[in-house]
Amino acid sequence: MSEPAAIAIRHVSFEDLGSFAAPIEEAGYRLSYHDVGLHDLSKLDPIEPDLLVVLGGPIGAYEEAQYPFLTNEIRILGDRLAAGRPTLGICLGAQLIASALGARVYPGPKKEIGWAPIQLSDLGRSTAVRHLDDGPVFHWHGDTFDLPADCDLLASTETCRNQAFRKGKSLLAFQFHPELMQAGFERWLIGHACELSAQPDVSRRQMRADTGKYAASLQHRARAMIEEWLRGLKPRDRTGLQD
Tell me the per-residue pLDDT of 180-227, one tens digit each, with 9 for 90 and over: 999 999 999 999 999 999 999 999 999 999 999 999 999 999 999 999
Torsions phi, psi for 136 (to 5 deg): -70, 160
> How does residue 18 score in pLDDT terms, banded at 50, 70 and 90?
very high
Question: Is the Cβ–Cβ distance between 25 and 31 less than 8 Å?
Answer: yes
Name, in order, each residue with C-beta under 8 angstroms of 91's C-beta and a sequence gap of 6 or more: 15, 55, 56, 57, 140, 141, 174, 175, 176, 177
> How does residue 235 score in pLDDT terms, banded at 50, 70 and 90?
low
- What local confidence, expressed as pLDDT, does residue 1 receive? 52
Helix axes 69-82, 92-100, angle to 10 degrees: 70
pLDDT tens track for 117-142: 999 999 999 999 999 998 999 999 99
Which DSSP category does 80 fall into?
H
Query: For the chain, what's the residue count?
Result: 243
> How does residue 240 score in pLDDT terms, banded at 50, 70 and 90?
very low
Output the pTM of the full model.
Answer: 0.94
CATH architecture assigned to 5-239: 3-Layer(aba) Sandwich (3.40)
